[in-house]
Every structure is written in C-alpha cells, then in structure tokens.
Amino acid sequence: MADYREVTQEITQELTRTLSNISTHEVEQLTAEIQKAEKVFFVGVGRVLLSLKSIAKRLAHLGIKTYIVGQITEPAITEKDLLIVGSGSGETAFPLIIAKKAKQFNATVAHIGGNPQSSMRDYADLFVKIPVSTKLQLPGEIPSVQPMTSLFEQSLLILGDTIALLMVREKEMDMHALWKYHANLE
C-alpha cells in the first residue's frame, strides 16, 4: 500500500518547485491588472475552472468584482475589465472563443497556462507561465507523479491565493475587516 506521508511529500515538493519557478514579474503584472480592472472575469473548463472559481471567490473577499463567464448574473465585459483565462495548453476551445470575444470589446486578457506559444497568445495581453507538465508534454515542463494535470490545477489555486495575500499586504488590509465581503446567507 502507498505511504500517505511519502505521497504528501512528493506532492508538496512538486508544488514548491513549481511555484518557485513562476516569474515574479509575470505575477506582478497580473496583480496590477487585477487591481486596476473594474471587473475581473474568469474562464476555464474542468478542474481548472474549479480552481478559477476559488480564486474569483477569494478576490471577491478583497472587495474585487469578480465573475465566472457563463454565470447567470454575468455583466457585460468592457475595455475597463480583465478576463483571466486558465488553460494549461492554451488550446482549449471554449476559453479561446471567449478570449477572442473579450478582445472584440477591448478588454484586457491574461492567460495563466503552461504554453506561451499556444493559440491563446493571439488574444492574451499578458501571460503567467505555470511551468508544469501539460497534456502537450512540452520540453522544459516540470514533471509530476500525479495523474493528468493535477499539478497545474493545484498550482493555479495556490497562485491565486498568493496573489490575494500579496494584495492584502500591499494595501495593508485589515484581515478582520475582510469578513464584510464574506457570504452571510449561510
């Protein structure tokens, strides 16, 4: 039987290696775009979408207006807004279509993925590379012992929480005061 502690250590080592290989400059660019946007939209599919939903919720806790593309209360995107696309390969059809549409409305598009040479580069104004194994198996990717693209989705989620904490510290936000943004119909 597999050893829980050994497997946990393997996963956390992969995460540490991955997160330490994400460009600080790219993260700073994305953080600045989030802070200047009037509204921040998110698009992805599958487990990537689940990670993006968590990031959207965390940023909403900081008072940022966030929306998941396709949600029933999604407003119009404008030139004052940011679309964050999560796609490891940068080739996933739905996010590509949405990014193209966002550019038609002059919104800023940020792509968080593993492939800077993907089709998404035609629409992205900025790119944050999570340098892990994607379904494309490109050279230079950080390998993973985990199934499929788990390391990408995990890294994406932690990257989002890291950006949130950076913003909290930069703006010297009172952590207790942030509870006013937390859901209260629970």
Domains of the chain listed by start with CATH number: 11-174 (3.40.50.10490)
Catalytic annotation present for 153: yes
Q: Which of 14, 33, 141, 153 is catalytic?
A: 153
By three-state DSSP, how is residue 2 classified?
coil
**Sign (positive or negative) of CA dihedral 84, 26, 15, 143:** positive
Write down the pTM of the prediction.
Answer: 0.94
Q: How far apart are CA 168 and CA 164, in angstroms?
A: 6
Q: Are 23 and 128 in contact (CB under 8 A)?
A: yes
Distance CA 157, CA 87 (A): 13
State whether residue 157 is helix, strand or coil: helix
Mean pLDDT of the chain: 94
Q: Lowest mean pLDDT: which of 106-110, 122-126, 181-185? A: 181-185
CA 93 to chain centre: 17
* DSSP letter string, 80-143: T-EEEEE-SSS--HHHHHHHHHHHHTT-EEEEEES-TTSGGGGT-SEEEE--B--TT--TTPBP
At 48-83, the pLDDT tens digits run: 999 999 999 999 999 999 999 999 999 999 999 999
CB 57 within 8 A of CB 66: yes
Across 26-35, 127-136, 144-153, the highest mean pLDDT is recorded for 26-35
